[in-house]
Homo-oligomer: A and B are copies of this chain.
Amino acid sequence: MEVELITIGDEIITGHTVDGNAAYMASQLVDSGFIVRYQTSVGDNSEDIEEAFRQALKRVEIVITTGGLGPTDDDITKRSIVKVFKRNLIFHEDILEDIRARYAKRGIEMPAINQNQALLPQGATFFPNKNGSAVGICIAEQGRIFISLPGVPFEMQQILGDHVIPYLLGLGARQAVRASKVRTTGIVESRIAEMIIPDLKLEPGVRLAYLPGYRGVDLRVIASGETQEEADEKARTLVRYLEEKIGRYVYGYDNDTLESVVGQLLRDNDRTLSVAESCTGGLLGATITSVAGSSAYFRGGVVSYANTVKLQELGVPQDVIDKHGAVSEMCALAMAAGCRERFDTDYALAITGIAGPEGGTEDKPVGTVWLGLATARDTRGHLMKLGGMRDVIRERAVYGALEMLRREILDIR
């Protein structure tokens, strides 16, 4: 079944919010076998919203909107639904009770304005919202399904996953589609292309896309077939081909992240990790601990932003800093070794570099980053010359460090 996503809000059309909702919904729907044909964004303007609703109801079977269901004045989606579907708003006492209970739990009195949240178009059903006060609204009419979800991402995500997708899957026949992602890091897009294109034969119904990002290049495989088995097999065949050609750069698949893969490797091998960070200021630790359960292998670390901290907390010798500077292989090695000893871990990763925009020199331009890795066997350094802006350099340094550890654990040289 074909879907149109409509995201609503001045904040989107004027660019003050990134439209992560459209991406999230599309990905969940595609993975469940639906086809997303259109994504449209409009501002908080009744006329444009109604027009977008009418347009979408003409061309697809399922329309899903987000935004404009909150308690405040700029939330006009409900009024537009009422106009397009020619229905009245009905008050639902049970919804209001839920909202009141939610506020009570947080120890806050419910602002009266939330009463608007308990109004639904006549004949609509609703999907409960675990994380907020705006419920999802569902109207089924003349072979069309129209669903409105709140715009707050984690509220939308919960309603979509817990209610909307199960509901839609129950409606009818699924398309046979398999979407897979092969995730690489440490290799540029054009080099991947050179390695895989010469022998590449794409079966009918199979598509391959390169998705370059700061952290690496993902390869997206989308395969369709008469049956799910056929689609799965086509996708598997292409994934195997990619592994053959560029396997050493492949750290994971689909929703794997490098931090989750490295975490699993540490856990499987019963190893522990600590970190010493300079230019990344804690981003490596934050990335590692974004994985739930990371306390099983991650002990902690030192953010040695000032040089005095490198000396006092990590035992970097003063003359390493004097002779080689804080951004040097010697300093990265001393940071890693000092951290490993101090935190008594199997591995310690260190990052020291120049994230910019200031601080670069002829010898060490902005983007110069030294990584250090201390193990039971030895301590090694690795130089990265990174492009991009401050945040990009920091993210790439973090991914470089995690990849260095992945290769160490898997003994990839």
**Residues of A at under 8 Å CB distance from B?**
9-20, 22-30, 36-42, 44, 70-74, 106-108, 111-114, 131, 133, 152, 154, 179, 181, 188-194, 197, 207-213, 218, 220, 222, 275, 277, 279-290, 292-295, 298-306, 308-309, 313, 342-343, 355-358, 385, 387-392, 394
Q: Is the CB of A288 within 8 A of B281?
A: yes
Residue in B197, B211, B300 whose beta carbon sits within 8 Å of that of A302 in the complex: B300
**Number of chain copies forming the complex:** 2
Residues from chain B with Cβ under 8 Å of A39 in the complex: 12-13, 19, 40-41
Q: Is the CB of A300 within 8 A of B303?
A: yes
Q: Is the CB of A299 within 8 A of B289?
A: no
Residue in B12, B15, B74 whose beta carbon sits within 8 Å of that of A28 in the complex: B15
Q: List 29 A-B contacts (CB under 8 A).
A: A10-B209, A10-B220, A10-B222, A13-B37, A14-B27, A15-B36, A16-B218, A17-B23, A18-B20, A19-B19, A39-B41, A44-B207, A71-B190, A72-B210, A113-B193, A154-B389, A275-B282, A280-B289, A281-B285, A281-B286, A281-B288, A281-B298, A282-B285, A283-B286, A285-B305, A286-B286, A292-B356, A300-B305, A301-B303
Minimal beta-carbon separation of A107 from chain B (angstroms): 7
Q: Is the CB of A11 within 8 A of B211?
A: yes
Q: Is the CB of A154 within 8 A of B388?
A: yes
Q: Is the CB of B29 within 8 A of A23?
A: no
Instruction: List 10 A-B pairs, minimum CB-CB distance, nearest first.
Output: A281-B289, A15-B26, A282-B285, A282-B282, A15-B27, A283-B286, A300-B309, A282-B286, A39-B41, A111-B190
Given contacts A18-B24, A154-B392, A281-B290, 14 further A-B contacts (CB under 8 A): A11-B209, A11-B218, A12-B23, A14-B179, A16-B211, A70-B189, A72-B189, A72-B190, A152-B212, A282-B301, A292-B355, A298-B306, A299-B309, A300-B313
Residues from chain B with Cβ under 8 Å of A212 in the complex: 70, 152
Residues from chain B with Cβ under 8 Å of A108 in the complex: 188
Bound together, the chains give a CA A284 to CA B277 distance in angstroms of: 13
Bound together, the chains give a CA A176 to CA B293 distance in angstroms of: 53
Q: Is the CB of A11 within 8 A of B220?
A: yes
Minimal beta-carbon separation of A62 from chain B (angstroms): 15
Minimal beta-carbon separation of A344 from chain B (angstroms): 8
Q: Is the CB of A44 within 8 A of B300?
A: no
